[in-house]
Amino acid sequence: MGLTPDEQRAAIIRNLPAKTGHDLVWWVDLLKRKGPAGKRERTAWLQEKHSLGQLYARAVVAGTEKTEGFVEPTPEELVDAQYAGAKAAFRPVHDRLVEWALAELPGTRVNPCQTYVALFRQRQT
d(CA 30, CA 89): 44
Q: Which residues contact 59 (CB under 8 A, 6 or more apart)?
A: 9, 12, 13, 16, 24
pLDDT of the residue at 113 = 84
Q: Which residues contact 16 (CB under 8 A, 6 or more apart)?
A: 22, 23, 24, 27, 56, 59, 60
Amino acid at site 44: A
pLDDT of the residue at 5 = 75
Question: pLDDT band at 115, cuts 50/70/90?
Answer: confident
- 3-state helix, strand, coil split of the chain in percent (to 5) is 65, 5, 30
* pTM as predicted: 0.55
SS (H, E, C) 39-84: HHHHHHHHHHHHCCCHHHHHHHHHHHHHHCCCCCCCHHHHHHHHCC
52-104 confidence digits (pLDDT tens): 999 999 989 888 877 666 566 788 988 999 999 999 999 999 999 999 999 99
